[in-house]
Amino acid sequence: GTAGVAIAGLLGAVRAQGRPMIDFPKQKIVVAGAGSAGIGVVNAASRTMARMLGNNEVAFESARSQFWIVDAHGLITEERVDIDPDARPFARRKSELTHQGLNEGASLIEVVKKVKPDVILGLSAVGGLFSKEVLEALKDSSSSRPAIFAMSNPTKNAECTPEEAFSIIGEKVVFSSGSPFDDVDLGDGKIGHSNQGNNMYLFPGIGLGTLLSGARIVSDGMLQAAAER
């Protein structure tokens, strides 16, 4: 469910940038958190990208290359000792690192500065992880409307607040959180919207669809389809 609602939000962010949905596979996404939620979202989002690109081996490799995963020890690369098997497919290759000026264990700030991502996705359960320095670095995003997904719950675990995001990056940022936050008054009659990316928005439709169709199994593909709709 978390992966499904994250994909819905990521696709929404592409639309908010004024780009066609088919541009989703071009999004550069930095993910903070390599637990089951973080890897689950990356797996599902990469499958969505790959399907848009033709659903073959080349498509999956291209999709994989759009993600940079950072955990408590920094950027995950193929040089990581005892790498989690679930994270291994998304570990950055040595050849990519040289080109990007990054290395194993690079900090979140370093990664955001060098990658200039379209999206930073927080599933770390570390409150305040998207610090002033990280948000300042995101101002150099290659996107006209960078997106921040502070998905960790409860509120105290959110990687940043909408106030922090809008005050540092400005009104162009797209903000979503797992916990509810109030919208932000930006002055001059402008509102910074705090979108809530919580899986409670996905499950009622999944439940109703399952009942109406009589499906005996809720597959990954069904969650994927719900997210895309």
- What is the average pLDDT score of the chain? 93
Average pLDDT of the residues in 35-44: 91
Residue 153 marked as a ligand binder: yes
Confidence of residue 10 (pLDDT cuts 50, 70, 90): very high
Provide the CA 82 distance to its chain's centre, in angstroms: 24
Whether residue 37 is predicted with pLDDT greater than 90 in this model: the reply is no
pLDDT of 224 > 90? The answer is no
pLDDT at position 95: 86
Query: Which contacts (CB < 8 Å, 24+ apart) does range 17-20 have?
Result: 17/118, 17/143, 17/144, 17/145, 17/174, 18/144, 18/145
Domain boundaries, the chain: 1-199
Using CA atoms, how far residue 164 sits from 61, 66, 130, 141, 171, in Å, is 35, 26, 9, 17, 11
SS3 112: helix
Q: 1-199: which CATH number, 3.40.50.720, 3.40.50.2000, 3.30.10.20, 1.10.3720.10? A: 3.40.50.720
CA distance 207 to 192: 32
Percent of the chain clearing pLDDT 70 (strictly above): 100
Q: Can you give the pLDDT at residue 113?
A: 96
What pLDDT score does 42 carry? 94
